[in-house]
Structure 1
Amino acid sequence: MADWIALPEDNSRSYELVEGVLVVSPRPLSKHQRVNWRLAAQLEPQLPVTHGVLTETEVVIESGPPPTIRVPDVLAVPAEGIDLNLPRWDAADVLLAVEILSVGSKRTDRVTKFVEYAEAGIAYYWLIDLDEPTSLTAYHLIDGDYELVGEHSGRATVDIAGTSVELDLRALTSSRAG
């Protein structure tokens, strides 16, 4: 973990640490980045003031050895930690992790991270699929396993820890002129 922390800042690629092995990927493409930003913008104002939204922030899944650190696309976390400017989050403190599916990440997001996030205790896990129509698959951790709580396209209303969140999934990918 100390080697991970000592890495220089580099925004030219995406980095994760999986069982002590550095995994390097290209940065997300433009559409993915826009969806990331728009989802965070829709989600943030609907959460209780006790929580906030971050994008592409480190989450310690397993401190190891060997350590695993993932970087979900969007997170909902306690506002207190944001105010403290934490550099990374313990998975136990993450309320929601969202992964936006990409060509090179679908299997990892649907299988590997699905298991890792559940084992780490992340209460809610969402997958956003950008294939038309843009869709959201939502899971809630119940008794240590993720259970499907909704599959949506168009408009979605999803519960996060007793807070009803409304999302316009079409607006995540639509043209501003459209």
Structure 2
Amino acid sequence: MTAALHDDYPPPGEWTTDDLDRLPDDGRRHELLDGNLIRSPSPTRLHQSIALMLGAALQETCPADLDVTQGVAVRISRTRAFIPDLLVTELDAAVRNPSHYRPNEVLLVVEIVSEGSRSIDRVLKPALYAEADILYFWRIETETGIVVHAHKLDPVKQIYVETARMPDGILLPEPWEMDIPLARITPRAR
């Protein structure tokens, strides 16, 4: 029985996006890094509340030709696929109701750092999103309050350059003009 179960899945380093499509929905995030499957546990309440509130605030302020969503994969290649916490895409791409996006359809990715994903969210994902030419990347830290780190791609070096560190809310001129108070993305607490 164990051998049969093992045969249902590719060996490490051989996973592709086709394999992701065949996985059952088990409540975990399934991502690919160079053909290796990464399974993440369900996010915490704090993480999900920030994602929900920020997503709503971004949707209210974004231009009509853009769309905001959460938890939809960005397939960078056949062996690399990540699921940002939030992403802003072209509306034309969103209306086809995709289960995943191509990098050229994505304007902004947002990662909310969790205890189990610090290195991935701070180092690995930004490097690979930049390599895929996604123009904007935000990282949200929550260890000492909510702090939004906004980055823009340097297309020559293919790295992100921090454009703002915002502990008091989101005040930016791009990718569109926005002014989102910190209270708007802060979950309720007692």
- State the Cα deviation string for residues 10-41 of structure 1 (Å, max 9, x = none): 3x212111111111111001111111100101
TM-score by length of 2: 0.85
Counterparts of 1:67-106 in structure 2 under 5 Å?
67-106=79-118
1:107 pairs with 119, 130, 153, which one? Answer: 119
The structure with the largest alpha-carbon Rg is 2
SS at match of 1:28: coil
Shift of 1:118: 0.3
1:160 pairs with 174, 178, 186, which one? Answer: 174
Paired AA for residue 6 in structure 1: R
CA distance in 1, matches of 2:121, 2:49: 19
Contact conserved, 1:62 with 1:120, CA < 8 A, in 2? Answer: no
Structure with more strand by fraction: 1
Q: Does 1:169 align with 2:182?
A: yes
Alignment size in residue pairs: 172
Shift of 1:160: 2.8
Q: Does 1:34 align with 2:49?
A: yes
Task: State percent identity of aligned pairs.
Answer: 30
Shift of 1:157: 0.8
Q: Does 1:58 align with 2:73?
A: yes
Q: Does 1:3 align with 2:3?
A: no
Shift of 1:131: 2.2
Shift of 1:172: 2.0
Provide the alpha-carbon RMSD of the alignment: 1.5
Contact conserved, 2:93 with 2:105, CA < 8 A, in 1? Answer: no
- Aligned in 2, Cα 1:174/1:85: closer, same or farther, shift over 3 Å? closer
Shift of 1:174: 3.8
Aligned to 1:151: 165
TM-score by length of 1: 0.90
Aligned to 2:143: 131
Structure 1 unpaired stretches of 5+? none
Structure 1 ranges of 4+ moved more than 4 A: none
- State the Cα deviation string for residues 79-131 of structure 1 (Å, max 9, x = none): 11221111100112110000001011111111100100000011000001112
